[in-house]
A = this chain, B = another copy of it.
Amino acid sequence: MQASTINIENIRRDFPILQRKVHNNKPLVYFDNAATTQKPIQVIDSIHNYYLNYNSNIHRAVHQLAEEATAAYELTRDKVAKFINVNREELIFVRGTTEAINLIAYSWGRQNVQKGDIVVTTEYEHHSNIVPWQLLTKEKEAKLEYIGVDDNGELILDQLDDYLNTGRVKLVTVSHMSNVLGTITNAEEIIRRCHKKGVKVLVDAAQSVPHIKVDVQKLDCDFFAFSAHKMLGPTGVGVLWARKEILENMQPFNAGGDMIREVHKYNTTWNDLPYKFEAGTPNIADVIGFSAALDYLENIGMDKVREHEIELTKYALEKMSVIKGIKLYGTPDMNKRGGVISFNLGDIHPHDLATIIDEDGVAIRSGHHCAQVLMERLDVSATSRASFYIYNTKEEVDVFIRSLNRARELFRI
């Protein structure tokens, strides 16, 4: 049925929600994967199993449940380390990409960014990679600068050089894949240029790690962040990685249980890495559930995931491009983009479009996608966005295309 390189029927069977019917018994077509993905039964059952059998607080108790829970929690750290090829002691569990970036801004940023310094971000960043830097640069009387986006949806790297040449840049922070345009950032090149000047680089990998194979050591960045819920994992779990030397010199972010070595009334010493940055009871069940998501993706193979998404995106772009009145954003070069398609259809506002096609069971996202700076750059108030994952099919794309045409007719375009 599918010319896909992965066995999509088998995969779909692992995702119970895909059997769900919405509005008047329409099968669900879930194309909102850039917002959050669905979870395979393996992940759902792993959380279930934790609570049924070995729920306990971790790290400090010696009883059997605590031992089992601690081992499972730390096993996830090992798996994440292997998945992105880093050391486990450099991996910090947080709530999500947003918290990871804020942790860096609060801790590393407040220690290292001074008055007159520059933090460089880009016009296609998610709010999570803009607003923390606005707060930091305002507090420090530093400057926030933006690398522009060209008409193909790619970063204008010459502008990076201009900033770097000022000699005042402390950090360049850039998303590895745009959550609106799908553009895959040439992060290697950015990192190379920054490191030549001794400038640190943060990679917001919220949209890349779920969809393409990433080797962080090869990438050679300094900070790296992503969210479990965008890659088959539970909500409430994210990962921050940073180089050991950097983490060792960073002040803690949140303070409290687990991150301390010794607490006295007037002075306190910190625990070893990575615990120094994990204060309080963590999201134990969901970190453990994330293990199953990593297993699932490794089992398929990230190369296969990417291949499948390329095929689906190509197919969708072809079909969409002939719809009357459609405007597609981003590069047509599939080597440079992931499975995210932003578009506008005539003068139908994306919210209206999403409401209409939701009636046909198709779930897409509409709005500014937490990227209002990019919306200003594109000179639109909003776009519609379809985004794919391993369980999506060409048949679903066909349903989506038919639904777009129905919207077009309803709006008489």
Contacts and interface: CB of A to CB of B under 8 A. Distances in A.
Contacts of A236: 95, 236-237, 282-286
A163 interface: no
A255 B135 contact: yes
Interface string A57-79: 10011111110000000000000
A265 B130 CA distance: 8
A83 interface: no
B235 A363 contact: no
A47 B363 CA distance: 22
A66 B355 CA distance: 12
A267 interface: yes
Interface in A333-384: 351, 354-355, 358, 362-367, 370, 372-373, 376
A364 B65 CA distance: 11
Contact of A98 (B51, B256, B286, B351): B256
Interface stretch (A3-11, A32-40, A153-161, A304-312): A32-40
A74 to B, nearest CB: 15
A126 interface: yes
A62 B132 contact: no
A399 interface: no
A207 to B, nearest CB: 13
Given A132-B254, A255-B134, A36 B56 contact: yes
A96 interface: yes
A365 B17 contact: no
Contact of A266 (B47, B62, B144, B253): B144
A165 interface: no
Contacts of A61: 32, 35, 354, 363, 365-367
A102 B106 CA distance: 12
A144 B30 CA distance: 52
Contact of A364 (B35, B63, B132): B63
